[in-house]
Amino acid sequence: MKAVQISRTGPPEVLETVELECPSPGPGQVLVRAAAISVNFADVMIRQGTYVAMPPLPAVLGMEQSGFVESLGPGVTGLKPGDPVVVLTQRCYAAYVLAAAAAVFPLPPSVDLDEAAALPVNYLTAYHMLHTMGHLRPGQKVLVHAAAGGVGTAVIQMGKLAGLTVIGLASTEEKCAYARAQGIDHAINSGTGNPVESVKEITRGKGVDLILDAVAGDTLGRDFEMLAPLGQIIWFGMASGPPKANLTRHLAADFAKGVGVRVFHLGFSVGQPYPELMRESFLTVLQYLADRKIRPHIHARLPLAEAAAAHALLESRRVMGKLILRP
């Protein structure tokens, strides 16, 4: 079968198309034939060698895909060959992927396969940051960095579904327009404006209840200036590298406000320690998709063999929504 892997870390060119033996499902496993494969920034970080959980090399990248059940291992029930499914697992940049049955979810006939592939990582991340960690209530305010990205899109849609006021930062006016099209309440152009002053104006000086930051770099220090009393920052990525701010100093400076910083990783924070919660939330967001309450935006579709071009495009920061690879 065709697959895309890395044997060393580096620029997009280290991604190579290879021919691998198609795996066979063992007990409790499902072999899925890929229809659409989603590209995540975590894939880019693994390729760069900077991800928090690096796989041994050589490694086939990819964390999510949609497709059709090809065959079942002993003991698997509730699925049959030909069923459309979505999978949250490893080694998804391939024509076939082997997954534990618990990681394979049947798709309603009405669900688009590209949108299904774009669903798990981004929308589950948004769901758990807003609800499992954030405990936000209708009427509260959330600010998300990179509002035009995959997680940003999910936060906008999931936040509005939960009755929240959603504020987003985006680096260009084009991205702000995209965020508005997704239903955001306030889009701030961080490339030309002053986000702190804008947030103070929007919130009448109070600040926001939750900030979701996957950028890090020099952004976290500024985040504290935009928090309401008892507000919190969830740091869930490092698109611009590790935080430059001294977080202890900022917490001490805002001690009386009772603010906090937490970190989040979908797999390590929820998936591994709380598999039932993960499955329950997956079924919830999948039903939202089937009911058209949410809808991932597909920026572009590329052949699997052009995975390097997809990575380069994602790193260019021009992508709004998600990139899909077709096997």
Tokens coding 150: 């995959």
User: What CATH code would you report for 121-267?
Assistant: 3.40.50.720
pLDDT level of residue 218 (50, 70, 90 thresholds)? confident
For the cut 90, the answer to whether the pLDDT of residue 138 exceeds it is yes
Residue 189: predicted pLDDT: 96
286 vs 108: CA distance, rounded Å: 9
289 vs 2: CA distance, rounded Å: 30
Tokens coding 195: 């986000």
For the cut 90, the answer to whether the pLDDT of residue 193 exceeds it is no
Complete edge-to-edge strand list for the sheet that includes strand 165-170: 186-189, 165-170, 141-144, 208-213, 227-235, 260-263
pLDDT level of residue 217 (50, 70, 90 thresholds)? confident
Among residues 8, 229, 237, 23, the alpha carbon closest in space to that of 126 is found at 237
Percent of the chain with pLDDT over 70: 100
pLDDT per position as a tens digit, 302-326: 999 999 999 999 999 999 999 999 9
pLDDT per position as a tens digit, 113-127: 999 999 999 999 999
Q: For 283-298, what is the mean pLDDT?
A: 97
Percent of the chain with pLDDT over 90: 89
CATH fold for the domain made of 2-119+296-326: Quinone Oxidoreductase; Chain A, domain 1 (3.90.180)
Residue 117: predicted pLDDT: 98
pLDDT level of residue 229 (50, 70, 90 thresholds)? very high
Mean pLDDT across the chain: 96
Span between the terminal Cα atoms of the chain, in Å: 10
Residue 256: predicted pLDDT: 83
Residue 207: predicted pLDDT: 97
Q: Give Cα 85 to chain centroid, integer Å.
A: 19
pLDDT per position as a tens digit, 29-83: 999 999 999 999 999 999 999 998 899 999 999 999 999 999 999 999 999 999 9
pLDDT per position as a tens digit, 148-186: 999 999 999 999 999 999 999 999 999 999 999 999 999
For the cut 90, the answer to whether the pLDDT of residue 4 exceeds it is yes
Residue 253: predicted pLDDT: 84
Domain segments of the chain as ranges: 2-119+296-326, 121-267
For the cut 90, the answer to whether the pLDDT of residue 129 exceeds it is yes
- With tokens 């003991």, the residue in question is 75
- With tokens 């998804």, the residue in question is 92
Residue 95: predicted pLDDT: 98
